[in-house]
Amino acid sequence: MTGGSAIEKGPRGNRLRPFVWGAAACLLLLPAVAMQWFPASEVNWTALDFIAMGVLLAILCGLYELGAWMSDNIAYRAGFGLAALTGFLTIWVNLAVGMLGDEDGTINLVFAGVLFIATAGALIAGLRPRGMALAMLAAAIAQLAAVGVALAMGGYDARELTFTAMFGLPWLASAALFRKAAADARGLPGAC
């Protein structure tokens, strides 16, 4: 890669593709299998639940494909995949149980802002590694700011706050991977 851009022309090998899509399919089938073995009170997914999860998994896998297509740099691909996975888990946790309080708690809308910051930052950066590193760092800061707001509001369990704050770690790891990809593009020896 040259010039700090992640975009390169030419074929891209993607050996992980069958594993990523296969894991997504297995994850989507897991509740259907669990509903056969556990009482309806424990696992009770509707058709809408399966559709929503299918759409989320398709978006996640599509983002993985985009990241793999954008660059053959391993750090870039890993950073992109980690950011996509963190966004997916943020949505999934919020829909299932809520990051803070229950899934209907208004505080959980703040995490849509975290996802907006990550997405808007990535688009503004043109998916280039240096800008992506800044966007993921901004998402990590937003994640921690959301926890700070919840802490100031009070009424949340320390375990909830800690778990939610820990969601900042994969955003930071993604930023570090993008930073390394940017350094690789400039020909610098391993930066991170």
Predicted local distance difference test score (pLDDT) of residue 12: 59
- Closest by alpha carbon to 123, among 59, 56, 63? 63
Predicted local distance difference test score (pLDDT) of residue 32: 85
110 φ/ψ sector (left φ>0, alpha ψ -120 to 50, else beta): alpha
Predicted local distance difference test score (pLDDT) of residue 99: 86
Predicted local distance difference test score (pLDDT) of residue 111: 92
On whether the CB atoms of residues 143 and 136 are closer than 8 A, the answer is no
Rounded CA-CA distance 124/102 in Å is 33
Q: In sequence order, which residues have a C-beta less than 8 Å from that of residue 19 and are 6 or more positions away? A: none
pTM of this structure = 0.79
Predicted local distance difference test score (pLDDT) of residue 30: 86
Residues of the chain with pLDDT under 50: 1-11, 191-192
Distance set, CA 72 to CA 12, 77, 130 (Å): 6, 7, 16
Predicted local distance difference test score (pLDDT) of residue 157: 86
Predicted local distance difference test score (pLDDT) of residue 2: 42
Predicted local distance difference test score (pLDDT) of residue 125: 94
The first and second tokens of residue 99, run together, are 């990051």
Predicted local distance difference test score (pLDDT) of residue 155: 80
CA angle 140, 146, 152 (to 5 degrees): 140
